[in-house]
Amino acid sequence: MLYRSLVYLAGMLINFFGVALLINATLGAGFWTSFFIGVSDHLGFTVGFWYGAFQLLIIFVNAKLMKAKPEPRAVVPVLLESLILDFWLEFVFAHVDLSSAPYVLQVLALLTGVAIIGLGVAIYILPQFPRAPVDQLFLAVSARFNLSIQSGQTVVAVIMTSLALIIGGPVGLGTIAPMIFLGPVIQYCYTRAYPHYYKLHPDGNQVYEEAI
Protein backbone atom coordinates (compact mmCIF):
# COMPACT_ATOMS: atom_id res chain seq x y z
CA MET A 1 0.00 0.00 0.00
CA LEU A 2 2.84 2.41 0.86
CA TYR A 3 4.57 1.74 -2.45
CA ARG A 4 1.38 2.30 -4.43
CA SER A 5 0.60 5.49 -2.46
CA LEU A 6 4.07 6.94 -3.09
CA VAL A 7 3.84 6.20 -6.82
CA TYR A 8 0.36 7.75 -6.88
CA LEU A 9 1.49 10.97 -5.17
CA ALA A 10 4.68 11.15 -7.23
CA GLY A 11 2.65 10.97 -10.41
CA MET A 12 0.39 13.80 -9.23
CA LEU A 13 3.32 16.02 -8.28
CA ILE A 14 5.08 15.37 -11.60
CA ASN A 15 1.87 15.96 -13.57
CA PHE A 16 1.11 19.34 -12.02
CA PHE A 17 4.70 20.48 -12.16
CA GLY A 18 4.30 20.03 -15.91
CA VAL A 19 0.98 21.90 -15.85
CA ALA A 20 2.56 24.84 -14.01
CA LEU A 21 5.50 24.87 -16.42
CA LEU A 22 3.12 24.83 -19.38
CA ILE A 23 1.12 27.77 -17.98
CA ASN A 24 4.26 29.77 -17.25
CA ALA A 25 5.53 29.28 -20.79
CA THR A 26 2.86 31.95 -21.52
CA LEU A 27 2.02 30.48 -24.92
CA GLY A 28 -1.40 29.31 -23.83
CA ALA A 29 -2.39 26.84 -21.10
CA GLY A 30 -3.27 23.18 -21.53
CA PHE A 31 -6.81 22.41 -22.67
CA TRP A 32 -8.19 21.68 -19.19
CA THR A 33 -6.23 24.42 -17.45
CA SER A 34 -7.11 26.96 -20.12
CA PHE A 35 -10.77 26.30 -19.44
CA PHE A 36 -10.33 26.67 -15.67
CA ILE A 37 -8.28 29.85 -16.09
CA GLY A 38 -11.07 31.30 -18.23
CA VAL A 39 -13.66 30.46 -15.58
CA SER A 40 -11.37 31.92 -12.87
CA ASP A 41 -10.97 35.16 -14.84
CA HIS A 42 -14.76 35.50 -15.16
CA LEU A 43 -15.88 34.38 -11.70
CA GLY A 44 -12.87 34.82 -9.43
CA PHE A 45 -11.27 32.28 -7.04
CA THR A 46 -8.12 30.33 -7.89
CA VAL A 47 -7.57 27.99 -10.82
CA GLY A 48 -7.19 25.14 -8.33
CA PHE A 49 -10.61 25.92 -6.84
CA TRP A 50 -12.35 25.63 -10.22
CA TYR A 51 -10.28 22.60 -11.08
CA GLY A 52 -11.78 20.90 -8.03
CA ALA A 53 -15.31 22.25 -8.45
CA PHE A 54 -15.72 21.10 -12.05
CA GLN A 55 -14.24 17.71 -11.32
CA LEU A 56 -16.99 17.04 -8.81
CA LEU A 57 -19.44 17.43 -11.71
CA ILE A 58 -17.34 15.24 -13.97
CA ILE A 59 -17.67 12.39 -11.46
CA PHE A 60 -21.31 12.08 -12.58
CA VAL A 61 -20.39 12.36 -16.27
CA ASN A 62 -17.94 9.48 -15.87
CA ALA A 63 -20.58 7.40 -14.08
CA LYS A 64 -22.98 7.97 -16.99
CA LEU A 65 -20.35 6.95 -19.57
CA MET A 66 -19.40 3.84 -17.63
CA LYS A 67 -23.03 3.02 -16.82
CA ALA A 68 -22.11 2.78 -13.15
CA LYS A 69 -22.75 4.57 -9.88
CA PRO A 70 -20.73 7.75 -9.14
CA GLU A 71 -17.41 6.94 -7.51
CA PRO A 72 -17.27 8.76 -4.14
CA ARG A 73 -13.58 7.92 -3.70
CA ALA A 74 -12.83 10.17 -6.68
CA VAL A 75 -13.21 13.11 -4.28
CA VAL A 76 -9.82 12.21 -2.77
CA PRO A 77 -7.73 12.90 -5.89
CA VAL A 78 -9.85 15.99 -6.59
CA LEU A 79 -8.84 17.52 -3.26
CA LEU A 80 -5.21 16.40 -3.57
CA GLU A 81 -4.77 17.66 -7.13
CA SER A 82 -6.48 20.99 -6.43
CA LEU A 83 -4.04 21.61 -3.57
CA ILE A 84 -1.03 20.44 -5.60
CA LEU A 85 -1.98 22.64 -8.56
CA ASP A 86 -2.30 25.72 -6.35
CA PHE A 87 0.98 24.78 -4.61
CA TRP A 88 2.89 24.88 -7.90
CA LEU A 89 1.09 27.96 -9.26
CA GLU A 90 0.66 30.10 -6.14
CA PHE A 91 3.96 29.30 -4.37
CA VAL A 92 6.69 27.64 -6.46
CA PHE A 93 5.97 29.48 -9.73
CA ALA A 94 4.45 32.58 -8.14
CA HIS A 95 7.32 34.84 -9.22
CA VAL A 96 8.24 33.07 -12.45
CA ASP A 97 7.54 35.10 -15.59
CA LEU A 98 8.61 33.80 -18.98
CA SER A 99 6.48 36.29 -20.93
CA SER A 100 9.56 38.33 -21.83
CA ALA A 101 11.86 35.33 -22.29
CA PRO A 102 13.17 34.41 -25.76
CA TYR A 103 10.54 32.60 -27.83
CA VAL A 104 12.76 29.53 -28.16
CA LEU A 105 12.91 29.25 -24.36
CA GLN A 106 9.13 29.57 -24.12
CA VAL A 107 8.62 26.80 -26.68
CA LEU A 108 11.15 24.62 -24.88
CA ALA A 109 9.31 25.16 -21.57
CA LEU A 110 6.02 24.33 -23.29
CA LEU A 111 7.24 21.08 -24.84
CA THR A 112 8.97 20.06 -21.62
CA GLY A 113 5.74 20.73 -19.73
CA VAL A 114 3.75 18.50 -22.11
CA ALA A 115 6.29 15.68 -21.72
CA ILE A 116 6.25 15.99 -17.92
CA ILE A 117 2.43 16.02 -17.80
CA GLY A 118 2.27 12.86 -19.90
CA LEU A 119 4.82 11.14 -17.69
CA GLY A 120 3.00 12.22 -14.52
CA VAL A 121 -0.40 10.98 -15.73
CA ALA A 122 1.09 7.66 -16.86
CA ILE A 123 2.72 7.15 -13.46
CA TYR A 124 -0.22 8.06 -11.31
CA ILE A 125 -2.72 5.81 -13.08
CA LEU A 126 -0.44 2.78 -12.56
CA PRO A 127 -1.39 2.00 -8.92
CA GLN A 128 -5.08 1.70 -9.86
CA PHE A 129 -6.12 4.08 -7.09
CA PRO A 130 -9.12 6.38 -7.64
CA ARG A 131 -8.26 8.74 -10.47
CA ALA A 132 -9.11 12.39 -10.74
CA PRO A 133 -12.35 12.70 -12.75
CA VAL A 134 -10.62 14.61 -15.57
CA ASP A 135 -8.20 11.72 -16.03
CA GLN A 136 -10.87 9.09 -15.55
CA LEU A 137 -12.90 10.91 -18.22
CA PHE A 138 -10.57 10.07 -21.10
CA LEU A 139 -10.31 6.49 -19.82
CA ALA A 140 -14.13 6.33 -19.60
CA VAL A 141 -14.45 7.72 -23.13
CA SER A 142 -11.89 5.19 -24.34
CA ALA A 143 -13.77 2.29 -22.70
CA ARG A 144 -17.24 3.49 -23.69
CA PHE A 145 -16.41 3.98 -27.37
CA ASN A 146 -13.76 1.26 -27.67
CA LEU A 147 -10.91 3.69 -28.32
CA SER A 148 -7.23 3.60 -27.39
CA ILE A 149 -6.03 5.71 -24.48
CA GLN A 150 -4.44 8.04 -27.03
CA SER A 151 -7.69 8.48 -29.00
CA GLY A 152 -9.80 8.96 -25.87
CA GLN A 153 -7.42 11.65 -24.62
CA THR A 154 -7.51 13.42 -27.99
CA VAL A 155 -11.34 13.47 -28.10
CA VAL A 156 -11.52 15.03 -24.64
CA ALA A 157 -8.77 17.51 -25.56
CA VAL A 158 -10.62 18.75 -28.64
CA ILE A 159 -13.86 19.26 -26.70
CA MET A 160 -12.22 21.11 -23.80
CA THR A 161 -10.12 23.27 -26.13
CA SER A 162 -13.29 24.36 -27.90
CA LEU A 163 -14.97 25.25 -24.60
CA ALA A 164 -11.88 27.14 -23.41
CA LEU A 165 -11.87 29.14 -26.63
CA ILE A 166 -15.57 29.99 -26.22
CA ILE A 167 -15.14 31.40 -22.68
CA GLY A 168 -11.93 33.28 -23.50
CA GLY A 169 -9.37 31.05 -21.80
CA PRO A 170 -5.67 31.40 -22.75
CA VAL A 171 -5.84 29.20 -25.83
CA GLY A 172 -2.68 29.15 -27.91
CA LEU A 173 0.26 26.97 -28.87
CA GLY A 174 0.32 25.75 -25.28
CA THR A 175 -3.22 24.45 -25.75
CA ILE A 176 -2.78 22.95 -29.19
CA ALA A 177 0.46 21.11 -28.35
CA PRO A 178 -1.09 19.07 -25.50
CA MET A 179 -4.19 18.44 -27.62
CA ILE A 180 -2.01 16.84 -30.29
CA PHE A 181 0.85 15.31 -28.31
CA LEU A 182 -0.39 14.52 -24.81
CA GLY A 183 -2.32 11.38 -25.77
CA PRO A 184 0.68 9.78 -27.53
CA VAL A 185 3.01 10.79 -24.67
CA ILE A 186 0.73 9.19 -22.06
CA GLN A 187 0.43 6.04 -24.18
CA TYR A 188 4.20 5.88 -24.68
CA CYS A 189 5.08 6.46 -21.02
CA TYR A 190 2.38 4.14 -19.69
CA THR A 191 3.36 1.16 -21.83
CA ARG A 192 7.00 1.52 -20.80
CA ALA A 193 6.42 2.33 -17.12
CA TYR A 194 3.93 -0.53 -16.64
CA PRO A 195 6.41 -3.43 -16.41
CA HIS A 196 8.91 -1.39 -14.37
CA TYR A 197 6.20 -0.46 -11.87
CA TYR A 198 5.43 -4.10 -11.18
CA LYS A 199 9.07 -5.19 -11.19
CA LEU A 200 9.77 -2.66 -8.44
CA HIS A 201 6.62 -3.63 -6.53
CA PRO A 202 7.37 -5.19 -3.09
CA ASP A 203 5.48 -8.32 -4.13
CA GLY A 204 7.44 -8.53 -7.35
CA ASN A 205 6.55 -10.93 -10.13
CA GLN A 206 3.45 -12.32 -8.41
CA VAL A 207 1.67 -8.94 -8.61
CA TYR A 208 2.85 -8.44 -12.19
CA GLU A 209 1.54 -11.83 -13.28
CA GLU A 210 -1.82 -11.14 -11.62
CA ALA A 211 -2.04 -7.76 -13.36
CA ILE A 212 -1.50 -9.21 -16.82
pLDDT at residue 205 above 70?
A: no
Give long-range contacts, CB 8 A cutoff, 24+ apart: 74-78: 74/130, 74/131, 74/132, 74/133, 74/136, 76/130, 77/12, 77/129, 77/130, 77/131, 77/132, 78/52, 78/132, 78/133
pLDDT at residue 53 above 70?
A: yes
pLDDT at residue 172 above 80?
A: yes
pLDDT at residue 204 above 60?
A: no
Compute the distance between CA of residue 75 and CA of residue 64 in angstroms, rounded to an integer. Answer: 17
**Average pLDDT score over residue span 164-175:** 84
Instruction: Tell me the per-residue pLDDT of 17-39, one tens digit each, with 9 for 90 and over.
Output: 998 888 888 887 777 888 888 88
**Average pLDDT score over residue span 101-119:** 91
pLDDT at residue 211 above 60?
A: no
Mean pLDDT, all residues of the chain: 84
Query: Which one has a higher pLDDT value, 40 or 210?
Result: 40
Instruction: Tell me the per-residue pLDDT of 58-69, one tens digit each, with 9 for 90 and over.
Output: 888 888 888 888
Alpha helices in 88-170 (DSSP H): 103-124, 133-144, 149-166
Q: What is the pLDDT of residue 85?
A: 83
Alpha helices in the chain (DSSP H): 2-24, 31-43, 47-66, 75-87, 103-124, 133-144, 149-166, 173-199, 205-211
